[in-house]
Structure 1
């Protein structure tokens, strides 16, 4: 049975959604094509009709994951920096690897990835910095950007480390220290 153009696009979207979640949960190398296609409700045979390679899928799935983060940041910005930071470093976000921050979940994969993945990741970092820059105190854009860069590094690093340790107390301690550091001097 021939698949319609509309159905093919729906299948592609399901693959991207599944990949964005699975790659965040288990890393790029932790997910095989068979498993990925099965999670999307499809067979492996259809993969190459949608993507040139796994690397192509990885870059597009990372873009999908990071785009979802942009929408979440916009919603949180209205609540103010303190609320936003506490939500980002909350217990719930720490536990929600599969649908949480793509920067934190995919950082190691991007560092080892190809140029396309690193370009997508760079865009994600820039989007995060831009979102925080708007919330930073300061008299110049350059000053606010520097503050935002430091806070992005602190937030992503703290969440990455908090997820990597087995001790819940240590995880919470890392996140609480980061909250204090990020909010220091922001009024």
Structure 2
């Protein structure tokens, strides 16, 4: 049987998606290669065509988690209004939806307790993913004119991360929501974006901004 040229890459992607979800929900030690392959609709025999070992799978899964969660965000850092993007990011990060779905959420809170089980390669990919995310927030803050954007990004993300972990630790939904609400308010006030209405989709906001700029140009001509 002849497969499409991208068949192997797509199969590998499927394995990484299932492994990423399992690692975030169950922890590295409890994740079995056989279960990951089964969830991906594959046999265990095909595993070594894609990965050298479980450690290799885990390391690449860490990278995949960041790519899966943040590819779109990191690809739009230079598009539209930075203040809107900052507010939208922290509203999403500190939401009950994110709190209740760790299997598709930010990998950092899920992996902080897994450091002892990560290979050197896995730790490196976790560090690179975290650095890339904070650098992205820093870039937005710099565009928004925030003083010392790197320090502000680190402080804001640290607060958001801590609040998310606390919200996940409590079983009382009302308490969890309060934790997230307070953190959203605190982070957005600190970054000067508390007044941004994030109910307006970024795409529409950017379109409106572009139209306004176009109108200004026509008027000036």
Q: What residue in structure 1 maps to residue 146 of structure 2? A: 138
Residues 90-113 of structure 1 deviation map (CA, whole Å, 9 limit, x = unaligned): 111111211111222222223542
- CA 1:41–1:4 in 2, change beyond 3 Å: closer, same or farther? same
**Residue ranges of structure 2 left out of the alignment (5+ in a row):** 193-221
Secondary structure in 2 aligned to 1:30? Answer: coil
Moved more, 48-57 or 98-107: 98-107
- 1:82 pairs, out of 87, 90, 96, with 87
Superposition deviation, residue 8 in structure 1: 3.1
In 2, Cα distance between equivalents of 1:146 and 1:111: 28
2:42 is equivalent to residue 42 of structure 1? yes
Query: Residue 30 of structure 1 aligns with which residue?
Result: 30
* Match of residue 182 from structure 1: 187
Q: Is the 8 A contact 2:16 2:64 kept in 1?
A: yes
Look at both structures and tell me which one has the larger radius of gyration over its CA atoms.
2
TM-score by length of 1: 0.86
Q: CA deviation at 1:18?
A: 1.2
Matches within 5 A, 1:91-106: 91-106=96-111
| RMSD, matched Cα | 2.3
Matched length: 184
Aligned-residue offset at 1:76:
7.6
Provide TM-score, normalisation by structure 2. Answer: 0.74
For 1:109 and 1:127, the matched residues in 2 are separated by 20
